[in-house]
């Protein structure tokens, strides 16, 4: 008999052998963290813009590279607002300043204009050790926060902005999540409720689920170009108070995924509603540079609130801005700020304490946001090129917004509101009952079923409206307006051919 046979085989045999020798042996190893033991909130959270369709799009790209035969040659990723990934060219001034910040030896190069060097030197001088490799304060570099405050003052017609109320963040998402985290406290046995527009950007629904908070959806009025409907706000908060404690209202302006720009009257009505109901306002204003439609104009919540006077100018407000959108499109740099208005001083101290645990926002993002809020001024060497590049991007986006709107509205069974701003369209689909029944028989949302077949047939990756929320019985999808004009034309041609054929196949 062999030693293995005598003692038994595997873990059990080794355990018995160890016990004979007087050693304590623990039970066989098990995973401490499993689906059953992990945070249940994480399991229920979803993020539609990077969901299963995007995963499938990546698989199709790999299949095409490996020689697979498809009815198309490439995947068009219209699912996410990733400007540079869709071919947008970076703004020269921003990249040049960042280049000098990260490569100071280039200060000696004649290839950089004097104002670029002055801007980069100013940032480096504010860094410890004159290096962007050093930590900054948890709220960001003091010089950048002062520049942000001055930018806001200019934007809002002279209304003061206090640098102490400015916090730099690694993307607007980080600021948004930090404010929601502060709000996450049960009161009188009820979870905190967060009012979000429907349709909404999935960051909010995902974060609310992750934090175990309660989402309170209020419907935007599609028939009025996605305006906020105060009557529906009142309906939503009245119903929500039965089971949660509404504490904050989120407003996205210009809208994502809907592309609307709120009127000043609409903003006043929201502020009045928040004051009457005791709500904290979170104003997601990251697309404030992206205004296209004639007659549309961006109005900041801060300016409107200040001009309304008491008691409305005492409402707590957090507003957010990012380098990822606008004319910059620097998504991966993760530069952003939030301005906090009327926040309790002790709460502000707690927020800064919480942020200090993350040490600091990325210095690349801080340098980038400073270039945006403190751009070249008239008379400086980089002014004309900066303005030309900025206006070129915005003009092109405006043209593409019109192309997308007009083309979708030319397709039978698709209805698209005017893309007034931001970077997206959110068209409505009239789907035949046969398609709806087929999708439901497969356990899929009808707009997901439609989007999946669109991807497999054309290579166009969009996001189903069910990922953003929509009125029951309606079906939508979100697409970006970011593809370059020639690719956009290709996309719309593919889209129209697919839609007509696919819908007809369920009408026979």
On the question of pLDDT at 120 being above 80, the answer is yes
Cα separation of the two ends of the chain? 75
The partner residues of 336 in beta bridges, in order of sequence, read 169, 322
Cα(336)–Cα(362) distance, rounded to whole angstroms? 10
* Per-residue model confidence as pLDDT tens digits over 398-452: 999 999 999 999 999 999 999 999 999 999 999 999 999 999 999 999 999 999 9
Q: How far apart are CA 133 and CA 128, in angstroms?
A: 9
3-state DSSP assignment of residue 3: helix
Mean pLDDT of 270-275: 96
Domain covering 114-373 assigned CATH 3.30.420.40 in the classification: no
Q: List all residues 6 or more positions away from 471 whose beta carbon is below 8 Å from its beta carbon.
A: 198, 219, 222
Beta strands in 139-275 (DSSP E): 166-169, 192-198, 214-221, 227-228, 245-252
461-485, pLDDT tens digit by residue? Answer: 999 998 888 999 999 999 999 988 8
Smallest CA-to-CA distance from 376 within 365, 364, 384 is with 384
- The pTM (predicted TM-score) of the whole model is 0.87
With 70 as the cut, is the pLDDT of residue 18 above it? no
Measured between alpha carbons, how far is 285 from 410 in angstroms, rounded to an integer? 31
Handedness of CA 234, 235, 236, 237 (dihedral sign): positive
Per-residue confidence (pLDDT) for residue 31, from 0 to 100: 81
Question: Secondary structure of 247-294 in the HEC alphabet?
Answer: EEEEEECCCCCCCCCCCHHHHHHHHHHHHHHCCEEEEECCCCCCECCC
Whether the predicted pLDDT of 7 surpasses 60: no
Contact 120, 101 (CB under 8 A): yes
Average pLDDT over residues 309-326: 95
- Say which DSSP state 88 is in: P
Of 81-85, 96-100, 114-118, 477-481, the least confident: 81-85
Mean pLDDT, residues 75-86: 86
Q: Which CATH class is domain 48-77+398-504?
A: alpha beta
3-state secondary structure 122-143: HHHHHCHHHCCCCCCCCCCCHH
Nearest C-alpha neighbor of 169 from the set 286, 257, 78, 4:
286
Please, which residues bridge with residue 217 across strands? 196
Please report which helix (H) or strand (E) contains residue 319, including its range: strand 317-322
Q: Which candidate, 198, 152, 74, places its Cα nearest to that of 317?
A: 152
pLDDT at 350 over 90: no
Which residues does 163 contact at the CB level (< 8 Å), separation at least 6? 142, 145, 146, 148, 149
- For residues 90 and 330, give the distance between their C-alpha atoms in angstroms, rounded to a whole number: 8
Residue 20 has pLDDT above 70, yes or no: no
- Average pLDDT of the segment spanning 39-55: 70
Query: Do the Cβ atoms of 461 and 77 come closer than 8 Å?
Result: yes
Q: Look at residues 222, 196, 223 and name the one whose alpha carbon lies nearest to residue 209.
A: 196
Describe the crossing of helices 230-240 and 264-277 by its angle, rounded to 10 degrees.
20
Which band of pLDDT confidence, cut at 50, 70 and 90, is reported for residue 50? low
Ranges in the chain annotated CATH 3.90.1150.10:
48-77+398-504
Per-residue pLDDT, 8: 45
Q: What is the three-class DSSP state of 72?
A: coil
Q: Please, what is the angle between helix 485-504 and helix 383-409, to 10°?
A: 20
- What is the spatial distance between Cα 268 and Cα 476, in angstroms, rounded to a whole number? 29
> In the prediction, which pLDDT does 391 show?
96
Tell me: pLDDT of 453 over 60: yes
- DSSP run (H or E) holding 338: strand 336-341
pLDDT of residue 4: 43
Query: Which residues make up the CATH 3.40.640.10 domain(s) of the chain?
Result: 114-373
Q: Half-sphere exposure of residue 438, counting CA atoms within 13 Å on the CB side?
A: 15
Q: C-alpha 187: how far from its chain's center? A: 29
pLDDT at 323: 94
Tens digits of per-residue pLDDT, 205-223? 889 988 889 999 999 999 9
């Amino acid at each position: 008999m062999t030693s293995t046979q005598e003692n038994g085989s595997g873990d059990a045999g080794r355990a018995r052998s160890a016990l004979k020798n007087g050693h304590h042996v623990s039970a066989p190893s098990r995973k401490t963290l499993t689906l059953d033991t992990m945070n249940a909130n994480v399991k229920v959270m979803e993020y539609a813009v990077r969901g299963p369709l995007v995963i499938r799009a990546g698989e199709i790209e790999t299949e095409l590279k490996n020689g697979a035969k498809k009815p198309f040659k490439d995947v068009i990723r219209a699912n996410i607002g990733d400007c540079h990934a869709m071919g947008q060219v970076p703004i020269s001034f921003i990249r040049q300043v960042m280049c000098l910040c990260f490569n100071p030896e280039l200060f000696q190069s004649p290839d950089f204009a004097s104002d670029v060097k002055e801007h980069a030197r100013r940032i480096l001088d504010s860094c410890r050790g004159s290096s962007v490799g050093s930590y900054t304060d948890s709220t960001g570099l003091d010089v950048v926060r002062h520049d942000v405050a001055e930018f806001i003052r200019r934007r809002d017609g002279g209304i003061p902005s206090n640098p102490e109320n400015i916090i730099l963040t690694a993307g607007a998402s980080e600021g948004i999540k930090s404010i929601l985290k502060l709000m996450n406290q049960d009161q009188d046995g009820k979870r905190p409720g967060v009012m979000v527009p429907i349709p909404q950007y999935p960051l909010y629904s995902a974060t609310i689920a992750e934090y175990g908070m309660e989402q309170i959806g209020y419907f935007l009025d599609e028939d009025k170009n996605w305006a906020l409907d105060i009557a529906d706000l009142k309906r939503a908060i009245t119903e929500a108070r039965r089971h949660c404690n509404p504490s904050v209202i989120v407003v996205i302006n210009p809208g994502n995924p809907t592309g609307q720009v709120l009127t000043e009257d609409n903003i006043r009505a929201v502020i009045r509603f928040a004051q009457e109901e005791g709500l904290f306002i979170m104003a997601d204003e990251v697309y404030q540079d992206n205004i296209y439609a004639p007659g549309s104009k961006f109005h900041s919540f801060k300016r409107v609130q200040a001009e309304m006077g008491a008691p409305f100018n005492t409402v707590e407000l957090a507003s957010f801005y990012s380098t990822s959108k606008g004319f910059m499109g620097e998504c991966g740099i993760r530069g952003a700020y939030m301005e906090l208005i009327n926040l309790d001083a002790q709460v502000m101290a707690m927020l800064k304490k919480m942020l200090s645990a993350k040490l600091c926002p990325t210095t690349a993002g801080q340098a980038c946001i400073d270039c945006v809020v403190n751009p070249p001024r008239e008379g400086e060497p980089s002014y004309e090129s900066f303005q030309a590049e900025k206006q070129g991007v915005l003009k092109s986006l405006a043209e593409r917004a019109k192309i997308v709107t007009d083309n979708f509205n030319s397709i039978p069974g698709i209805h698209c509101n005017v893309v007034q701003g931001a970077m997206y369209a959110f068209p409505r689909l009239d789907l035949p009952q046969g398609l709806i029944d087929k999708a439901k028989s497969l356990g899929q949302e009808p707009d997901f079923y439609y989007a999946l077949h669109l991807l497999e047939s054309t290579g166009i990756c969009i996001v189903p409206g069910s990922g953003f929320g929509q009125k029951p019985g309606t079906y939508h999808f979100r697409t970006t307006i970011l593809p370059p004009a020639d690719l956009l034309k290709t996309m719309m041609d593919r889209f129209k051919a697919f839609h007509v054929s696919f819908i007809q196949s369920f009408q026979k």
